[in-house]
Structure formats: structure tokens, C-alpha cells
A = this chain, B = another copy of it.
């Protein structure tokens, strides 16, 4: 007579090492078949096989997600990783004919499940997301500077009817893209500052200031993350080492006090 219900047995089975390795292998296999599907020559010769393998793996994933949903019931949706798996498998089931043909290309997103299945990669993403809250203040300041600069460049440089100016600063969207390019420093002189300075000679001051200010802000973003990461990892170990020394010393001092107390008892005994 088994002491575990069928659901519990299934749950153990789904979280077993063997099953995890099986899923990882299937994801990697699917990554290969989806990659091969982009090659026209391969598709002509082995297209049917590739599609069949793809359908079989998809079927496996659908069953897997449904089983995990059955095991955990509504608690399934409490984990962001489960929701991630559910959405990615769900997308693959949508009809991909007619206007939805673009959805076929989203099948490759299934390979992202690798990140949710392999614990080490999962940890990396968790760490990346945990770094975001510490960045919001600097990111907000950067966004305000970007928005103000893009409205100004749209009003000043975009007012020119020159086609180059219209392409670079024709709308707020165009200006923001141009300013993003300026921030990455890519072709800032030849593609952006050059044509603008030809019409607005004093604009060099704006470009140089914007580059220095955004570089400085991005640098501070980086430093913030570094300092946070150091604090987190470093502090723990440091505290542990100081605390160990501290508690050993406190223990030794406690022993001293007990010995003095014993001495006192001896003395009181001697007085009698």
C-alpha cells in the first residue's frame, strides 16, 4: 500500500534529475532543428523530418507543462518561471496561419526555456533582475534627461526643413533614437554631429555636453551595481570572519567571569 498519492509521485518524477536532463536534451535538440529549419537546402531534403521532430517535442512540452500544472494546481502560477514556461509553450499552440504567420518565428523562444530549466542560468537571470531596483533612480534621471533633450532637439534642430535634420530629429521618436545612438558613441561625429553642425555651428556644445553627462550617468549606474554586488557578497564573508573572532572572544571572556565567580565562592567558603 503506497503512502504517496499519485500526484505526489508524479511531482517527484517531474522534479527528478533524470527528467530535468531529459527536458534539457529535448530543448537543445529542438534548438538544433529550429536552427536547421532556417536553411532552405536542408528544409527541401529533410523538411518533413524536422517538422515531425518539432511537433513531437512541442507535444512533449505541452504534456509536461499540463502535468506540472496538475501537480501544483494554482500554486503553479506563483512562480515566475512557471508562468514563463506556460506562456512560451502556449505561444507555440496558437494558430500560425494567415495574418498570424509571424507567430511561427516565436517558436524559437522555446529555447529560452533552457534558462528556466538549468539552475545556474536561472540564478544569473535572478541576479540580473535583483540588480534592477537599485538602478531605478539613476535610470529615471537618465530618462528625464533623454526626454528633455529629445523635445529640445526636435524643436530646434527638427525645425529645419533639411532632409538630414528631418531624418535625425523629425519627431520625438526620431530624436530619442538619435540620442540613444549618441549615447552609444556610434558614429556620433560623422552621422550626427557633422550634419547638425553644418546647419547649427554652435550645436557642438550640446553634443559634447550630452556625451559627457550621459557617460557620467551610465558610469554611475555601473558603479552602483558594482558597489551593491560587492556589498552583498563581500559583507557576508567579512561579517562572518569578524563575528567568529568576536564570539570566540566573548566566550573566552565569559569563561574568565565564571572562573572569577568560582574564585569568589572559594573565598566565601574560606571566610566561614
Q: Please give, as numbers and ranges, the residues of chain B lying within 8 Å of A66 by CB-CB distance.
A: none
Residue pair A127, B220 in contact (C-beta under 8 Å): yes
Q: Please give, as numbers and ranges, the residues of chain B lying within 8 Å of A248 by CB-CB distance.
A: 246, 250
A111-B148, A253-B249 are contacts. A138–B155 as well, Cβ < 8 Å? no
User: Which among A31, A144, A239 has the highest number of chain B CB atoms within 10 Å?
Assistant: A144
Tell me the bound Cα distance from A184 to B114 in angstroms.
25
Looking at A15-23, A34-42, A45-53, A71-79, the stretch in contact with chain B turns out to be A34-42
A241-B238, A254-B252 are contacts. A189–B189 as well, Cβ < 8 Å? no
Whether A261 is near chain B, meaning CB under 8 Å from some CB there, is yes
Q: Please give, as numbers and ranges, the residues of chain B lying within 8 Å of A59 by CB-CB distance.
A: none
Query: How many chain A residues touch B (Cβ–Cβ < 8 Å)?
Result: 99
Tell me the bound Cα distance from A256 to B104 in angstroms.
77
Chain B nearest CB from A21 CB (Å) reads: 16
Chain B nearest CB from A143 CB (Å) reads: 10
Residue pair B264, A262 in contact (C-beta under 8 Å): yes
Interface positions of A from 220 to 238, Cβ below 8 Å from B: 220, 222-227, 229-231, 233-235, 237-238
Residue pair A108, B270 in contact (C-beta under 8 Å): no
Tell me the bound Cα distance from A230 to B264 in angstroms.
50
Q: Is the interface of A mostly helix, strand, loop or mixed?
A: helix
> Which one of B35, B147, B217, B270 contacts A267 once the chains associate, using CB atoms below 8 Å?
B270
Chain B nearest CB from A91 CB (Å) reads: 13
Whether A60 is near chain B, meaning CB under 8 Å from some CB there, is no
Whether A92 is near chain B, meaning CB under 8 Å from some CB there, is no
Whether A188 is near chain B, meaning CB under 8 Å from some CB there, is yes
Whether A2 is near chain B, meaning CB under 8 Å from some CB there, is no
Residue pair B39, A171 in contact (C-beta under 8 Å): yes
Residues of A within 8 A of B (CB): 31, 34-35, 38-39, 102, 104-106, 108-109, 111-112, 114-115, 118, 120-121, 123-125, 127-128, 131, 136-138, 140-141, 144, 147-148, 151-152, 154-156, 158, 171-172, 177, 180-181, 184-191, 204, 208, 211, 216-217, 219-220, 222-227, 229-231, 233-235, 237-239, 241-243, 245-246, 248-250, 252-257, 259-264, 266-271
